[in-house]
Structure formats: structure tokens, C-alpha cells
Structure 1
Amino acid sequence: MRDVLEIVAARADRPGAIASAAAARRRPAGWRGEHGRMMIIAADHPARGALRAGPDPLAMGNRADLLDRICTALERPGVNGVLGTPDILEDLLLLGALDDKVVIGSMNRGGLAGTSFEIDDRFTAYDGDSLAAAGFEGGKMLLRIDPDDAGTVATLQACGRAVGDLAAHQLMAMVEPFISHRADGRVRNELSPEAMIRAMTVAAGLGTTSAYTWLKVPVVDDMERVMAATTLPALILGGEVSQDADAAYVRWSKALALPTVQGLVIGRSLLYPPGGDVAGAVDRAVSLL
């Protein structure tokens, strides 16, 4: 496990080291890896208070362990990027783990999991200016559309503004859309083909331009019809840790055959796989590309 003492010392005594590390980072040649696709490790869950992975409700609550898993994944051949909040990406900068990687900063983390204000998903992390200043390649936003919650309109407006801001800096705007509903005190995403088509078409129209917009979508039934709803490039997300890993890989493989699907953005399924072999899980996902 990587020693975090160096990170703590830098944060306490040399906070300027973070900006220096960002400035010194070796940028990737492009958004695609050597396989012509994107393979992004997602690690932005903790800032929303979503720490569960598999049966462990606090799996992502140990930062040293999480960083070790992320670094292991980033070191595997074919992995060309990472998605995270400022605290995680800055830890990785201090560890020197982001050279030649596509770095996507997570932007709206205000809709904390399990809260009454979850749908009113405020932008509380990166913005376009800070991502450009850090030299990162893009920003990601979650867009949950609840027809029964007026907080949705504020999130729609904020996401539209963020898409335009990122495009002005020529940075990727990664939008993750869902039709969502509150039930039993929780916000649940609707994963029917019809719901995903509706959510994607709304997300595609956000902002002053869609030139830099990519979609981040789950694998659902009838993916061929779902992905026919847009010409925007899309990345497939991994979702929750599945005990049936074989079935998950089959679903990802089928989705990757569709023309608009340009790669994978997977977090917990690879960082906390059944059996604990992070490198093996990542290598298997890369083999699908």
C-alpha cells in the first residue's frame, strides 16, 4: 500500500506543491488510448458520501487503500485516464500518477446521496476555469432529471452553463444523464430504454454548443435503440460491483460494438472486484476494447 505520509506532509507544509505537480504533469497526446478507445477509472464517489462497494458500506472510506487501488489500475496497460474530485486528483498528482493520463474533474457533488436535496445537485467542485488552470482534459457532471422535483431545473441550468464553460476552454464535457425518482427516501435512476433515450436527448441539447460533449451512460436493455438516440460520443459506465462479473463483461462488450460507444468509464466494479484482484479486473476490461 502506498505511504500517505508524503502526501500529508506536502498538504500541510507545501500546499503549492499541488499546483507545481499539475504544471509539471506530462499531458496525454489525445483523448484516446493506444487501442483507439478511452479507458477511464472513475473515483469520484466519496465526495457524494457514496462509499459502498459490494457488501461493504464504507469500502471507499479508507483513502490510502483507495489510492492504492486507483494507482494499481492506472498502471495497467491500456488504461488512459481517471475521473475524480479535486482531493483525489491532487493526491494522485502528488504521487506522480497522472503523467500521460486523461484527467477528468468531477464538478457537481452537492446532491449528496440520501439527502432531501439530492436532486438539486449543486456544482461544488471543479469549474471550467479551474480545470483549465490545472491543465486537465475535461469535466464530468451528473444530471438526474426527476419529473416530480423542482430542484431538477436548477441542475439543468447549471449543467448547461458548465457545458458551455468547458467548451470555451476546449475541454471535454462528460454528462451522465438519468431520469430519476425518489422512493423510500432515496433517489433511484430509471434504467428502462425509454428513460435512457429521454435522458440522453435532454443532455445532448445542453449548453451553447455540443462540440465537446460526451455522454456517460449505463448498459440497459435494447442498447442499440438507446444509442441510436444521439450522434454524441458515449462512454459506458460500470455501475455497482456485481457478483456476476462475467455477465457484466458480456454487457460491456456488446455495448462497445455500437458505433457511438467510444470506451469505458468504470469505478467500483474494477477497483473493488469480487476476489479483490484489481489488476486482473482492469486487464479483462481493457481486453474488451
Structure 2
Amino acid sequence: MTTGTFADRIAALTEIRATRPGAIADAAARRARRAVLTGADGRLMIVAADHPARGALGAGPDPLAMADRRDLLERLCVALGRPGVDGVLGTPDIVEDLLLLGALDGKVVIGSMNRGGLAGASFEIDDRFTAYSTAAIAAAGLDGGKMLLRIDDDDPATAATLEGCANAVTDLAGRGLMAMVEPFISRRVDGRIRNELTPEAMTRAIAIASGLGASSAHSWLKVPVVEDMERVMAASTLPALLLGGEVSADPEAALATWRKALALPTVRGLVVGRSLLYPGDDDVAGVVDAAVEVLR
């Protein structure tokens, strides 16, 4: 589905879903896949778009920025079309929309797996696997799966999330697929989950995440930039990708922190969502190109 205006193409998505749902599997089967995961320089530039399925719709000052699916898909297509962008991270609904739009040929596609810890919910730390399974990732011809691991020492639900992530890492490794683990040490503050972004907390989180599963052969980490990154990243030999987090009020400063962290030997790229898709000046192409320049 590549003809017509973007609005026409978006409108056609619902018609296809209602009358020809098998077209999604057909599009997945036709998708041209990359021969290797990383680029020639061993790096990866991934655009993240799995926030809505956890009920996290805000970006910058707009609490519902990601609620408009047509707008989000258009931004994703712009980002994926820029030189140097390797692929996307998303839940099945978004990945399948992009498949039908023909935006994923030759791209790395990582399926988001555990979205059950809804933002702001009383059960938020219970990050159950409610999106992609390993079997579904393999069946769709995707390149790996991503999981969120928030460790709250005071919440017993953490144990189930640890077990679920460990099983997913094992299953993905058994199929030769990337397991992207995003670990945090977390705790409740005034009833809300907050991630501890200290060097000590991230070092502990990385150490725990690195040991998940029966094999770490295909495990990657997705980590924030914190202070003393050299010491933090020394906690593991796993390749790591930097996450973007919230939309920065100072994009140049954010680029500078990424540039410094990307010089570390285990840091192999970026997984950035809202910072790229909803920049302050709304120039998606421009901010994506700037991030690619920092990476490459």
C-alpha cells in the first residue's frame, strides 16, 4: 500500500483490517529483511514507538501527543525514511500498521513484549507480557523482542516480571533473536513508580539484567544516560543501546550526552522515541538527522 496521500493510506488501514486481516501476515512474509542486525559500523539507530500500549501518551508539554495514531504513524514514516535509521521498536498494532504502509523493508524490527505495567496504575510494577510473544516475533519475521524490567525491592510483583523476562531471553536466544532488556531499579514515591537514575542503581540493574535467561548470547541492553557512564557500563560486556527518554528542553545538550556515552566500547547505538518523534521545533527529519550524525 504505497499510493495516494498519507491520509488516504491511513484511512485504508482500517478497511484492510476489517475486510482483509490476512494482509498483515502477507505483508510480514513479503518484507525484505536485513542480512545482519547491525550496520557496517556495528551500530544501530532504532526509533521507539511502544509507549502508547502502556498508556504513556505524553511527549513534551502535551499529555496526549501520541494519542493521534495517524500523526504518530506519519512521524514514524518520516523518521524511518531518513538515511542512517536502522529500524523500529513497537507493539504489534504499530508494527502491523507500518508493515501495511510498506515502511519496514530492509529495516530492523524489534517487537515490544511486556506492556502490562500500565503507567500510573496500582499494578504498574507487574510488567506482564501482554504484547508480542517469542513465537509471534519469529512467525512475523521480526528481528528480536524488547522487555522492560523494573526492579522494586519492596514489591513482590517484581519476582514475576524477573521470571517472565528470563523466560523471554531464553526463548529468544533459542531462536537466534535479539533480546533487548531495559532494566531499572525502581521504587514508589507518593504512590507513583520512579526509576532511580543514579550510577549505583543503574550498575545494579545492568548486573541483574545481564544474568537473565539460559543464555546471554543474543542479549542487548537498553539504558539511560546517567552520571559516571564509564563506570556504569563496566558492569557488563553486553552490547548496549542508549534510550532517549523524555523530550529534552535542550536538544543540543542531549546530543552531547549521547555523543560522550557512544564513545564507550559497549555502547552500540540509540533507541529513541519521543525525543525524535516530537521535538520542540516539530522538525522530525532534522532531529533524526542530528542523532544519526552523532551516532555514525
Match of residue 287 from structure 1? 293
One-letter amino acid of the counterpart of residue 286, structure 1: V
Match of residue 249 from structure 1? 255
Q: Identity over aligned residues, as a percent?
A: 71
Match of residue 6 from structure 2? 2
Match of residue 48 from structure 2? 42
Match of residue 225 from structure 2? 219
Q: Deviations over 1:31-69 (max 9, x none)?
A: 112443100000000000000000000000000000000
Cα distance in 2 for residues equivalent to 1:180 and 1:173: 21
Match of residue 111 from structure 1? 117
Alignment partner of 2:130: what SS? Answer: coil
Q: Deviations over 1:177-234 (max 9, x none)?
A: 0000111221000000000000000000000100000000000000000001100000
Cα distance in 2 for residues equivalent to 1:188 and 1:34: 37
Alignment pair present for 1:191 and 2:197 = yes
CA displacement at 1:147 relative to structure 2: 0.8
Alignment partner of 1:131: what SS? Answer: helix
Match of residue 17 from structure 1? 23
Normalised TM-score (structure 2)? 0.97
Q: Could you tell me which of 209, 213, 218 is aligned with 1:207?
A: 213
Cα distance in 2 for residues equivalent to 1:207 and 1:35: 28
Cα distance in 1 for residues equivalent to 2:71 and 2:35: 30
Alignment pair present for 1:123 and 2:129 = yes
Q: Deviations over 1:207-262 (max 9, x none)?
A: 01000000000000000000011000000000000111111000000010000001
Contact 1:111–1:121 (CA under 8 A) maintained in structure 2: yes
One-letter amino acid of the counterpart of residue 98, structure 1: L
Cα distance in 2 for residues equivalent to 1:125 and 1:51: 17
Contact 1:120–1:152 (CA under 8 A) maintained in structure 2: yes
Alignment pair present for 1:258 and 2:264 = yes
Contact 1:76–1:282 (CA under 8 A) maintained in structure 2: yes
* 1:44-83 → structure 2 map (5 Å cutoff): 44-83=50-89
Structure 1 residues without counterparts, runs of 5 or longer = none
RMSD: 0.8
CA displacement at 1:5 relative to structure 2: 1.2
Match of residue 167 from structure 1? 173
Contact 1:39–1:264 (CA under 8 A) maintained in structure 2: yes
Cα distance in 2 for residues equivalent to 1:281 and 1:96: 23
One-letter amino acid of the counterpart of residue 169, structure 2: V
One-letter amino acid of the counterpart of residue 83, structure 2: P
Cα distance in 1 for residues equivalent to 2:292 and 2:40: 11
Alignment partner of 1:30: what SS? Answer: coil
Cα distance in 2 for residues equivalent to 1:180 and 1:36: 31
Cα distance in 2 for residues equivalent to 1:113 and 1:62: 18
Residues matched between the structures, number: 289
Cα distance in 2 for residues equivalent to 1:138 and 1:24: 18
Cα distance in 2 for residues equivalent to 1:193 and 1:54: 25
One-letter amino acid of the counterpart of residue 54, structure 1: G
CA displacement at 1:2 relative to structure 2: 2.1
Cα distance in 2 for residues equivalent to 1:83 and 1:45: 10
Q: Could you tell me which of 177, 198, 206 is aligned with 2:183?
A: 177
Cα distance in 1 for residues equivalent to 2:39 and 2:100: 23
Worse-matched range after superposition: 71-80 or 26-35: 26-35
Cα distance in 1 for residues equivalent to 2:194 and 2:286: 31
Cα distance in 2 for residues equivalent to 1:98 and 1:110: 26
Q: Deviations over 1:158-182 (max 9, x none)?
A: 0000000111111000000000011
